[in-house]
Every structure is written in C-alpha cells, then in structure tokens.
Amino acid sequence: MLDPYSFNKAVEKARHKENLLEVVTKAGKSQWNKGPTTVPNTIKLRGEAKKNSLTILLDSGSTHSFLDMEAARKIGCLIAEAVPMRVTVANGNYLMSLHICHKFRWKIQGIEFEDTVRITRLGGNDMILGGDWMKRHNPVLLDFVEYKVQVTHKGKRVELKGIYNQTELKSLSTNGVRQLLKKGQAIRSHLFTISAEEVTESSIIPAAIDKVLKQFPDVFLEPTSLPPKRAHDHYIPLKSYANPSLMNHVFKNYLRKFVLVFFDDILVYSSTMEDRVLHLRKVLEILRRDQLFAKLSKCSFGQPKVEYLGHIISGEGVSPDSSKIEAMASWPTSKTIKTLRGFLGLTGYYRRFIRKNGFHWDAEAETSFQALKQAMSSAPVLALADFNKPFIIETDACSKGMGQF
C-alpha cells in the first residue's frame, strides 16, 4: 500500500468506500426526483403518519426506501446516524443519505406498515417505497392502467389505490390574458360553474333509514357481471296487469303485508318509523340474497307521501296525481275518435275518485241515450259490397291462414 496507513486504518477506509452505495435502477438511474409527474414504472399513494399527510411514491426502480428530511422532522421521527449512502438520481446528480429511521410506522388507506427507511431530501415526494420494501411484501402486482398495487401484508393480499396526478391550475387576470394575446400566444381556457345541489323533500333521508342503507352498499352497485342462475332466465313480454314471476317469488312472504311489486317497482309501506326501518332492512336483505340490484338515484326513502302508478299515496289515503288532474282540466276539445278515446281512458282510470252521487242522469243524457239506441237499430251498420263501385279490402295473413274484410 502506498498510503502511509496502518493495516487497521486501511481496512476501515475500504469499508467506508464500500458503504458509499449508489441507488440505481436496472437502467442505471432512479426516477424518483423527476418532480410530480408519474413515470411508467411508478405509482403514487396517499399515506398518513401521526396525522400528517404523506405523498408516497412507489418506485420499483429504487433499491432502497427513503423518507424526506422535512417530513421526518414534522412527524417527529427518531432519526439516527447511519453509514453514509450516495444516491444517484435521474438527472445525474448525487444526494447523500446520512441518517436512518428505525421502525417507522405509517398508514396507507387505513392499513398500517412498519419499516426502516433512509432519510434524505426528496423534494417532490414525502416518501419513496423502493425494492427493499417490495421484497418484504412480495409478490407485488402493479397495475399502471388503474393505478393500483396489490401486496402481501401480514399474510394477506391487500390492494392499495394510487392517486392520479392533477395539473396545477393557476388563475389569470383579464390584464394577463391581454398581455398573452399581444404576444401571439394561444390560450386554452375552461369555464367551470360550481353550484349547490338543490335539496328537495324527496332527497332528505331520515337518519334511521340512512343507517340501514349504509349497511347494504352492494345492493345499489352497478352490476358488473351476468346475473346468477335463476328459475326464470329468459324474458317474456307481459301484459300491463301481469307481474314478473321472479319479483313475486322473492317477495311472496311479504306481498300486501308491507311490500307491493309492480314489474320492477318495489313499494315498501309502514305505519311507524320503527316498522319502516325493519321492513326496509328485510327488503334489502332479500335483494342481497338473490343478487338483485337497485339504482340509488331512482329510489326515495322515508317519504310521507309517494307517487305510485299515477296516484299519490300518503298516511291520509290515496289521491289522484295532480299532474293528471291538470291534464284533464286543460284537455282540448276532441276532434277525432283517437283523442276522445284518450280522454275517456284517462277519466275512466280515475272514476273511483268521483263521488257516487256525482253523476246525474238529466234530460240531455236521456236524449243522447235514446238517439244512440235509435241509430244502432234503425239502419244497418255494415253493408254488402257493391261491385259496381270501388271499395277497399283489408287482409290479414299468418302462417296458419288468411282472412279479409
């Protein structure tokens, strides 16, 4: 040896040089100090340590895990001196890591982790989880499309959802816009309007019912797969008075007790709030059991009155829908048979709301009645065809026969 060192000093110096490690990727450099942009082999996670928010970068290209110096001081980590480590970053510069934090604890989406991390100045992130951390939680599955990662933690597979990078938006004054336009720069602008959601009576859910709904979130999820095997897999177009057999079957023990079903509409009725909570829970349990789903935006809960099949149902009784009454009141004079039939059909549907003594047979009604009988009995309604004159033949045919009028 040319240097005037003793043997012990020479060994100490050699060990010190060996410990000046470079943290590099397979390509030669780590990616993690490139700022806020997520690169193809990294995923960002949102974490927490002692009520302090952490931006955590999951970097498969970094051989070690790091904690930012400022974040470590803010959290109050027990920082200890460590063997110096030289870190090579993506831009070719070097950083030194002189400290370490043993048994550092943090949470990601409620899941607690504990590990030993190196301390250095990271800049754009609060923490880096590198290859050493991934090895301890192997196997690690990275999904760069959905930005999520699956790891093994305490013998169980857990999924951590990453955060997408958001472009920082800056406000620009009118004068600033004019200055940019004078310089000939192009401007791409967006107008965002923020308004409070209108709160209606139907959107207010009582606390007792809201507590039940939170226990059945899976009932209101959008189906992502084919329905399970059922007794009736195919669909048959039914008449307006025929209910689907599936809904009748699953609710058969409670129909007309506290449940009414019309096609896919489910009406749950109760006399008290306590019964309403119990009945709603029973209905949701049946939907969950049979893997039936409801669209939450089309549902209403805990309502004192509800519109159902053209009627308003409340604790006071059943009344016609006000919109239908308004339609009848503003109905124009019928000039065709079709419009007259439409009016008669609408009024006939609500005939039960007319008082029994509301209709009086007067002289005008008697005259019309007798005139109709006379017209039907005095002249033939149908006449034989006159082959000396043109006439129209209406025919109908099917696979079994043919007929005409």
User: Does the pLDDT at position 129 exceed 70?
Assistant: yes
Instruction: Identify whether residues 252 and 280 lie together within a single domain.
Output: yes
- Asked whether residue 51 is domain-assigned, the answer is yes
68-75, Cβ contacts within 8 angstroms, sequence gap of 24 or more: 68/119, 68/120, 68/121, 68/122, 68/123, 68/125, 68/126, 68/127, 69/99, 69/119, 69/120, 69/121, 70/121, 71/126, 71/127, 72/101, 72/119, 75/49, 75/50
pLDDT at residue 17, as a whole number = 47
Instruction: Identify whether residues 258 and 355 lie together within a single domain.
Output: no
- Asked whether residue 396 is domain-assigned, the answer is no
- 158, 150 in Cβ contact below 8 A? yes
User: What DSSP designation does 244 have?
Assistant: -
Instruction: Identify whether residues 359 and 289 lie together within a single domain.
Output: no
d(CA 153, CA 141): 13
The pLDDT-based confidence of 243 (bands split at 50, 70, 90) is: very low
Q: What is the radius of gyration, based on Cα positions, of the chain?
A: 39
AA identity, residue 83: V
pLDDT at residue 231, as a whole number = 56
Query: What would the two tokens of residue 207 be?
Result: 């606390």
Higher pLDDT, 111 or 87: 111
Least confidently predicted of 16-20, 123-127, 303-307, 331-335:
16-20
- Asked whether residue 149 is domain-assigned, the answer is yes
Instruction: Identify whether residues 145 and 88 lie together within a single domain.
Output: yes
Instruction: Identify whether residues 334 and 293 lie together within a single domain.
Output: no
Q: In this structure, is the dihedral angle defined by the CA atoms of residues 271, 276, 282 and 287, taken in order, positive or negative?
A: positive
d(CA 404, CA 166): 71
Instruction: Identify whether residues 353 and 292 lie together within a single domain.
Output: no
Q: How many domains does the chain divide into?
A: 3
User: Does the pLDDT at position 348 exceed 60?
Assistant: yes
- 61, 88 in Cβ contact below 8 A? no
Instruction: Identify whether residues 305 and 327 lie together within a single domain.
Output: no
pLDDT at residue 96, as a whole number = 83
Higher pLDDT, 341 or 168: 341
Q: Calculate mean pLDDT across residues 314-330.
A: 82
Element of type H or E holding 87: strand 79-88
Identify the domain boundary among 254, 275, 309: 309
- Asked whether residue 64 is domain-assigned, the answer is yes
pLDDT at residue 285, as a whole number = 92
Q: Which stretches of 59-206 are DSSP H helices? A: 69-75, 131-136, 174-182
User: Does the pLDDT at position 30 exceed 70?
Assistant: no
Instruction: Identify whether residues 64 and 157 lie together within a single domain.
Output: yes
Q: What integer best gives the mean pLDDT of the chain?
A: 77
Identify the domain boundary among 286, 309, 332: 309
Instruction: Identify whether residues 302 and 334 lie together within a single domain.
Output: no
- 127, 71 in Cβ contact below 8 A? yes
- Asked whether residue 101 is domain-assigned, the answer is yes
Instruction: Identify whether residues 333 and 302 lie together within a single domain.
Output: no
Identify the domain boundary among 309, 338, 360: 309
User: Does the pLDDT at position 143 exceed 90?
Assistant: no
- Asked whether residue 108 is domain-assigned, the answer is yes
- Asked whether residue 391 is domain-assigned, the answer is no
The secondary structure of 53-119 as a DSSP string is EEEEEEETT-SS-EEEHHHHHHHT--EEEEEEEEEE-TTS-EEEEEEEEEEEEEEETTEEEEEEEEE
Task: Identify the domain containing residue 368 by its residue range.
Answer: 322-381
**Which residue from 260, 272, 268 is spatially nearest to 299, judged by alpha carbons?**
268
Torsion of CA 80, 85, 86, 88, to 10 degrees: -90
Question: Which residues are CB-contacts of 108 (< 8 A; sequence separation ≥ 6)?
Answer: 45, 46, 47, 48, 56, 160
User: Does the pLDDT at position 6 exceed 70?
Assistant: no
Beta strands in 205-351 (DSSP E): 259-262, 265-268, 305-308, 311-314, 317-320
d(CA 152, CA 355): 73
Q: Calculate mean pLDDT across residues 107-113.
A: 90
Higher pLDDT, 26 or 357: 357
User: Does the pLDDT at position 278 exceed 90?
Assistant: yes
Q: Calculate mean pLDDT across residues 2-29.
A: 46
pLDDT at residue 344, as a whole number = 85
Instruction: Identify whether residues 209 and 119 lie together within a single domain.
Output: no
* Strands ordered across the beta sheet of 141-143: 141-143, 148-153, 156-161
CATH of the domain at 289: 3.30.70.270
Query: What would the two tokens of residue 184 be?
Result: 């000939």
Instruction: Identify whether residues 249 and 332 lie together within a single domain.
Output: no
- Asked whether residue 19 is domain-assigned, the answer is no
**Which residue from 88, 98, 85, 69 is spatially nearest to 30, judged by alpha carbons?**
88
Q: Is the peptide bond before 223 cis (omega within 30 degrees of 0)?
A: no
Taking each helix axis as running N to C, give the angle between helix 337-349 and helix 322-329, from 0 to 180 degrees, rounded to the nearest 10.
140
User: Does the pLDDT at position 236 exceed 60?
Assistant: no
Strand partners, 321: none
CATH of the domain at 60: 2.40.70.10
